[in-house]
Structure 1
């Protein structure tokens, strides 16, 4: 493949990206564009006019007058050539033009003889298509008609820009509303989750100041202060980690790793916590499972999945596994806990959002655990999967791109 061809393909890819960025293809008719087509036909004194957008394999007409055709093959299109011209391209008689004489659009319907097209050029120079007029008989445009067609072509692009601007503003407003909602939820959640242990610590410290307090009661109060202090540290750590991974997930230091080693390490580190609650924590391994990962970040994500499983499971077991499914490497944590209803499975991946069952069970937490896991997974070109039924446990997985050669018989 020559350098020229590579460069040409890159330019075309950028052009198509710009066209599709306007989200105009295959949209319903709109009077703003229809009116421009009507004006073009009247100005140029031609029966047919079209706002033609050139896609990868076709030309599609956003607006048209004088024809029922809504799209055509790009290879047969006059507009494919005209959109790259600096000025209005005129074809006075297509029968006499070697570029178009054999075109199906000339030899058959709509039997084009005359064509004139003004390129649709974005503010940054991307060429989207043309505003064109056609006729079944030869002809030529006057200079004022050419000037008017160019002006109308600029109005087409202006309409596209205005719609894109309106969409961007709507998306921005939506993000601002979401940010405001997250801020309110953050304040409410932090107020509750931080104030409760702080108030408890404050109360116990006051009682510890009582000179008549016996040694057993003093030790009991100190243990409660330590538990609440650990809870506060855990909450602060989660908030800091959530902020870090949301801004750094494109810069993870990814190296080849066997996820099996990660599973054994995480299970070993968290087994005492599970056993202290009366739960069994086991591992399930499907041979080596290789992926390019930031070991520290994926380790943090797996720790949070395990701690979540332990937190929401009163009895039974938690299983940590590493498996291969197709081209995906998957870390999964399965529990026998309260589960997540289908309605809550998307909600719990958002910041400060918790499942309704968790709220009813009054399980402590900021609702950041799965948000952290999601950010880390997406920073590895992966995703979080949830399979769960309310009251029947959950399986939460981190799906990552699989690397390394495996026998073809492997799953």
Structure 2
């Protein structure tokens, strides 16, 4: 059966908590009483139990391992309802406890005797109890001993609480004394380091107390002022003036402020004096207190600040731009004369938030949003808006603002400038119109280029069909399937075939160029042997080189064995270089095809095609061209070097441009269309690489293709 709560339970619990004993560590004073109770009563278990809201907690225990049990099963919850000892000889025979879990299971209580622990205020806080595992009775002397021991438990609790209270009192006193000492030390430090001094006088001018700062008024060697009269330190007329001030204060009964210049040991100083009456607790005035602050430096700073502000206004009014300033609340606090001249308004009309009256209605909301957002973030800002001029016309203004901060880092507002950019805006409008016009022209040019590419593609296909027939028939005739030919016939038919092949090569170049410009030429990348590609290109020009008694060399060893490229297009690039070398190298000259591995840094130092036609090549890197090259760590460089006629510096800009030839004109000595180098450049760029060359008139040329070894091409 669960014990009911006492009628004064909340008050009882409050009394228990005042002892601050719950959940504290074991203490020998209580453990001795518990052991004594178990010994006197001859029981295996004895407890000092305290009953709080939900449990009984054991301050001391003998024969039991647990520290607490739930209140609804606690025997002591019944004990605190009793005025005296509660004895249960046999728990199984008592219907209140027969089914109690502390009886039916560990610790198997069969006998219980508990004495309430009642404090001096009459509240039962818990019990001193003894427990046995067998039914039994207590003798009268054991019962009396339990009563005495219970009173001793309460006595120990009272002593414990009183000792804690004394310790708190002692600690509070120590803290108060330490606080007083710290306060006195702070006061003394303040008096010693304040920029002035403090003094207390009686009504007759007798000095009662002064701070160390008093001594700065005099040269060294002056006597201790306390207990002496003012007349021992000051001239009679000054003493009279000081006493008159004191009299005025005592008559008014309130503090007064004075400013006085005093000649000190180190020169003239200005002091701000605050004098106040000294009163007893009854309100009787018995003297005058003085706090004197040296404001010499402050006055100097204020004078310097006034001078600085005057200089700032002169500079701001002389500036060629409008200048403004705000306070931390985003209110305008200053505009310079150019602003006032521009708007035709007075300074008073512009201060605060009145300056927004001149903003164009369509720009006002945007400007205020930008302005206030900058105040929230404390960041610089720049914006453009229209401001009404004195003649009523709205002009475009470029405004910049930056936050201002005081020396201690506090936000002080913004300062900014405004510049009339109306002319610039008009120029921008003209430029935009011109840009639109140029864009339209560019679109037209692109369309014309597209139509040109489409025309070239169609024409190339139309020309290749009959040309293929011409080449086929000429081949059949040369093979003399239809009878023998005379030498003259063979010569003419050979000319027909070579001219046709030349024309077919031209058509193929035109077709490739058109496909590239239209974005319809795809690379077929594959891993190929570099030697196979190089030897194939050499074989294609070998007969022409032999005809001119030229030495054609493939330089070994090659830079690498395998490379990922479009073999047909790489062969085409090499063939263009080799064909030009054979064409422009005199009889008996030499032509060398070589390979090497180079870095991106080396590429940056090469002559590369200029971004636009008509730009003469120079030594070193062309940045616009380098931007078109895929960045790679290493490059395979295929170079064709000849001992030919070379290219004059003034004509090198024509290289790699479509339909351009160095020896162009009606009297040119070498045939060609001017497409070979242009195609080579385009094909190299499609591989993610580029081209380069070196040449000098009469000294030969070297043309190179740069192909990245890593080939992530689309």
Give TM-score scaled by structure 1 length: 0.51
CA distance in 2 between partners of 1:280 and 1:235 (Å): 27
- Residue 272, structure 1, aligned to residue 272, structure 2: no
Partner of 2:68: none
Choose the corresponding residue for 2:322, options 47, 51, 62. 47
Partner of 1:241: 512
Q: In structure 2, do the counterparts of structure 1 residues 218 and 342 end up closer, same or farther at CA, with 3 Å as the change threshold? A: same
Partner of 1:165: 436
Q: Deviations over 1:56-113 (max 9, x none)?
A: xxxxxxxxx99xxxxxxxxxxxxxxxxxxx944344597xx4621xx6x6xxxxxxxx
Partner of 1:40: none
Partner of 1:221: 492
Choose the corresponding residue for 1:99, options 367, 377, 391. 377
Q: Whose RCO is larger (CA < 8 A, sep 6+)?
A: 1
- Residue 300, structure 1, aligned to residue 607, structure 2: no
User: How far is the alpha carbon of 1:363 from its aligned partner?
Assistant: 1.0
User: How far is the alpha carbon of 1:367 from its aligned partner?
Assistant: 1.3
Choose the corresponding residue for 1:363, options 663, 666, 670. 670
Q: In structure 2, do the counterparts of structure 1 residues 156 and 92 end up closer, same or farther at CA, with 3 Å as the change threshold? A: farther
Partner of 1:311: 583
* Structure 2 residue runs without a partner (length 5+): 1-320, 325-337, 340-364, 386-396, 405-411, 415-421, 457-470, 472-483, 600-633
* Residue correspondences, number: 263
Give TM-score scaled by structure 2 length: 0.31
CA distance in 2 between partners of 1:220 and 1:273 (Å): 18
Partner SS for 2:586? coil
CA distance in 1 between partners of 2:545 and 2:696 (Å): 22
- Residue 345, structure 1, aligned to residue 618, structure 2: no
CA distance in 1 between partners of 2:707 and 2:494 (Å): 41
RMSD: 4.7
Choose the corresponding residue for 1:332, options 639, 642, 649. 639
Partner of 2:687: 380
User: How far is the alpha carbon of 1:313 from its aligned partner?
Assistant: 1.8
Partner of 2:704: 397
Q: In structure 2, do the counterparts of structure 1 residues 249 and 340 end up closer, same or farther at CA, with 3 Å as the change threshold? A: farther
Choose the corresponding residue for 1:230, options 501, 508, 516. 501
User: How far is the alpha carbon of 1:349 from its aligned partner?
Assistant: 1.3
User: How far is the alpha carbon of 1:48 from its aligned partner?
Assistant: 4.6
User: How far is the alpha carbon of 1:243 from its aligned partner?
Assistant: 2.1
CA distance in 2 between partners of 1:116 and 1:227 (Å): 71
Q: Deviations over 1:145-183 (max 9, x none)?
A: xxxxxx99999986774464356467668x68x97xx99
CA distance in 1 between partners of 2:552 and 2:373 (Å): 81
User: How far is the alpha carbon of 1:392 from its aligned partner?
Assistant: 2.2
* Structure 1 residue runs without a partner (length 5+): 1-45, 50-64, 67-85, 106-114, 120-129, 140-150, 187-200, 202-212, 405-411
CA distance in 2 between partners of 1:290 and 1:168 (Å): 46
User: How far is the alpha carbon of 1:387 from its aligned partner?
Assistant: 0.9
